[in-house]
Chains A and B, each alone.
Chain A
Amino acid sequence: MQDLGSGMLRKGCFILATAGLLLFSVGPFGWEVLTSIKPSSEIAQSPVVYVPSRVTFEHYVALFARRDFGGYLVNSAVVSSLATLLCMIAGMLAAYALAKLNIPGSPLFLVIVLAVALVPPIILLIPLYEMMRWADWINHRGALVLPYAALNLPFATLVLRAFFRQIPQDLLEAARIDGFTRVGILFKIIVPLSAPALATTAILVFVFCWNEFIFALTFITTDAYKTIPVGIAGLSGVTSPYEIPWGLISAAAVTGTLPLIVLVLIFQRRIVQGLTAGALKG
């Protein structure tokens, strides 16, 4: 939204900043990618090998051949999608309620939401595990969907609430007068206006679910239902169980992250900037 203007100095600073951003973000990841295509013997060498003697895809092949990595991808996708959906819906409704509808005692609800955000997930592990055992939901993907949605609700609710509040009240008043129902206002006016916030929140929640480890590890022990992080933790050396298979792990990290990057690429195109300008006219 900002035009940084012309001027060589400005442009130079900008290019420098962008380069810095790229180096920062991609650097260590680039190292992972490089490692994933190096032959095993060259991985932990000193001095460091930057250009491998030969590029090999054996780690990627091993990933899908020896372990059911494709299955892990599917599991992660299912769990993350459903959890994100659940979280976004509940969060949107709650944020709308807290932001625009006059609820008695809304500070109390905010404190509750805040309090939930402060709970360290590790202490939820054992009680939730017992709960899941009781519901016979161990090795059931639902055992992950509900906790993930709940853990991200405070975040979704508070972020969306902050963005919803920015929408001018008169706009909503006008809509009411025009005959919109409250739910209609939410879905037909507020949602389009908050597209950046919604997309952002959804992406961040999705990534959280995708990479969550402790709950996934504890609630799912059958290989067929494992998610990616748990799958990676189960990778072992080719020749010995003590060996940490760097090549394999790097390949897994790269493969596991690619869907997320693609997702972001898709989503961010949907954030069309002109939306906000359009709605405010008239």
Chain B
Amino acid sequence: MKLRTFFYGMGIGALVIAAAAMGWTFLAGPGAREGGRAGQKVVISALMHVDITGAWHELVARFNEENPDVEMHYIEGPWSTDTREALYTTSFLAGESPYDMVFMDVIWVPKFAAAGWLEDLTDWLPPEQWKEFLPGDLEGSKHQGRIYRVPMYSDVGMLFYRRDLLEAAGLEPPTTWQDLIVMAQKLQKPPQLWGYVWQGKQYEGLSCNLLEVLQGFGGSWVDPVTQEVGLDQPEAAAALQLMHDLIHKHKISPPGVTTYQEEEARQIFQSGNAVFQRNWPYAWVLAHQEQSPVKGKVGMAPMVSQKGQDGSGAQGGSGFGIYKYSKHKRAAWRFIVFATSSRAQKFLHLQEGRIPTRHALFRDPDLLEKSPHLSTVYQAFQNTALRPPLPNYAQLSDIVQRHASAALTGKVPVREALRRASAETGYVVARAAEAKPGQ
């Protein structure tokens, strides 16, 4: 009896071990590090967005061909930039991130630089070569005067309008808010055709919209040098009041605009249900697709402003930085130079409609032929609105988002919302200043 039990036990034990071993190999993945060495080659990688058209894979293949001692791994991450930011953050926190290049949105730069995760690239290029990039993109790549990112794509907030409707009414595209409001009221037929759709949901896009209006009134958010908060000034009140009035007083924006992000506004405009739209240039490309109901009927112009002020669109865009503790910085730099070169940027624009970041490309005849709207976009680049390039920008943005959203939905009066936003912003800015003198 005892012997039998013993053998039973052994048998079962052996089975369990065998199953575990099989399960182990079945579970196994390729292992962690994406970087390191593969044979004689240096392997570098970056976490980027999904490569739908395959253009990036082509670029990467070309780079790998031209640089036989380096192998670049393009790692596709989720399409949401916020999620990618969280992934980068997690990998940096654990130390020895597998990513050598950091593909960054403009608002991540000060934060990542202050966290000590980025290599200072200022001296890696002579000043004349840095000047080849658009000024707004370059400013957005800096932290405390030093450059940490090479601009890859650019982006700026634009005003879209229904050219056919304006022309039929004999109107020129508006340059001031007053003009826009009057035109929208005249041409709209809610709810089938709304006057003006924009991004009013409580998220980063709202900060962009508000900043554009704010700067259009000559106001400011937080001065990056003096750290002065401009939210309690009359210009700020006028700006937020205007946005509030668009919905509740002039009624040219649907009440649901407080739930819109880029896609909602674009869908409404592209379906022919809005006269004006504020969005990024990508909406232009999509509006001119085959099945778009508004194909050929759309115009694009720089953002409007208060009379006497210059209109400005929010500065967007992405670029490459180098991870401070990467073991292959030189190789990473070679890839960055390759990817941000005129040749590569031109290729990407022709394939995907990406907005380039070099002055020269906006004068390139091939690009202008394919995308005549580039000249309008270039015009908008002359005066962009950069969100406060501070390490704790995310906190500042959240403060403004919450209070602006409360004002727009009528929960809190505009003046009070700005008072609170201003107080909280001041507190955050002050705490940051006292905690790190000169860091």
Stretch at the interface among B26-34, B171-179, B382-390: B26-34
Residues 219-259 of chain A, each 1 if its beta carbon lies under 8 Å from chain B, else 0 = 01111110000100111111111111000000000000000
CB under 8 Å from chain B, chain A span 104-156: 125-126, 129-130, 133, 136-143, 145
Judging by beta carbons under 8 Å apart, are A217 and B83 in contact? yes
> In the assembled complex, which residues on chain B have CB atoms less than 8 Å from the CB atom of A46?
268, 271, 273
Judging by beta carbons under 8 Å apart, are B77 and A241 in contact? no
Closest 8 CB pairs of A and B: A140-B29, A139-B29, A233-B78, A138-B32, A236-B50, A41-B291, A141-B27, A44-B267
Give bound CA distance, A237 to B266, whole Å.
14
Interface size band for B? 35 or more
Stretch at the interface among B227-235, B281-289, B326-334, B358-366: B281-289
Judging by beta carbons under 8 Å apart, are B291 and A240 in contact? no
Give bound CA distance, A142 to B291, whole Å.
45
Confirm or deny: A97 has a beta carbon within 8 angstroms of a beta carbon on chain B.
no
> In the assembled complex, which residues on chain B have CB atoms less than 8 Å from the CB atom of A221?
34, 47, 75, 77, 87
Judging by beta carbons under 8 Å apart, are A243 and B94 in contact? no
> In the assembled complex, which residues on chain B have CB atoms less than 8 Å from the CB atom of A197?
none
Chain B contacts to A: CB under 8 angstroms: 23-24, 26-32, 34, 47, 49-50, 52, 75-80, 83, 87, 90-91, 93-96, 98, 262-263, 267-268, 271, 273, 280, 282, 285-286, 289, 291, 352-353
Of the candidates B31, B79, B282, which one forms a contact with A136 in the assembled complex, judged by CB atoms under 8 Å apart?
A: B31
Shortest C-beta distance, A120 to chain B (Å), equals 15
Given the known inter-chain contacts A126-B94, A138-B32, A242-B282, please indicate yes or no for A235 contacting B87, CB distance below 8 A.
no
Most buried by A among B75, B93, B94, B271: B94
Of the candidates A137, A222, A239, which one forms a contact with B286 in the assembled complex, judged by CB atoms under 8 Å apart?
A: A239
Judging by beta carbons under 8 Å apart, are A45 and B271 in contact? yes
Give bound CA distance, A142 to B26, whole Å.
9
Give bound CA distance, A45 to B273, whole Å.
10
Shortest C-beta distance, B72 to chain A (Å), equals 15
Judging by beta carbons under 8 Å apart, are A234 and B262 in contact? no
Judging by beta carbons under 8 Å apart, are B32 and A222 in contact? no
Give bound CA distance, A138 to B64, whole Å.
25
Confirm or deny: A78 has a beta carbon within 8 angstroms of a beta carbon on chain B.
yes
Residues 38-81 of chain A, each 1 if its beta carbon lies under 8 Å from chain B, else 0 = 00110011100000000000000000000000000000001000
> In the assembled complex, which residues on chain A have CB atoms less than 8 Å from the CB atom of B75?
221-222
Of the candidates A133, A220, A234, A242, which one forms a contact with B76 in the assembled complex, judged by CB atoms under 8 Å apart?
A: A234
Given the known inter-chain contacts A239-B289, A241-B49, A244-B263, please indicate yes or no for A137 contacting B32, CB distance below 8 A.
yes
Shortest C-beta distance, B220 to chain A (Å), equals 28
Confirm or deny: A99 has a beta carbon within 8 angstroms of a beta carbon on chain B.
no
Shortest C-beta distance, A226 to chain B (Å), equals 10
CB-based nearest B residue for A226: B76
Shortest C-beta distance, B54 to chain A (Å), equals 10
Judging by beta carbons under 8 Å apart, are A126 and B27 in contact? no
Shortest C-beta distance, B151 to chain A (Å), equals 17
Residues 88-104 of chain A, each 1 if its beta carbon lies under 8 Å from chain B, else 0 = 00000000000000000
Confirm or deny: A82 has a beta carbon within 8 angstroms of a beta carbon on chain B.
yes
Give bound CA distance, A125 to B29, whole Å.
20
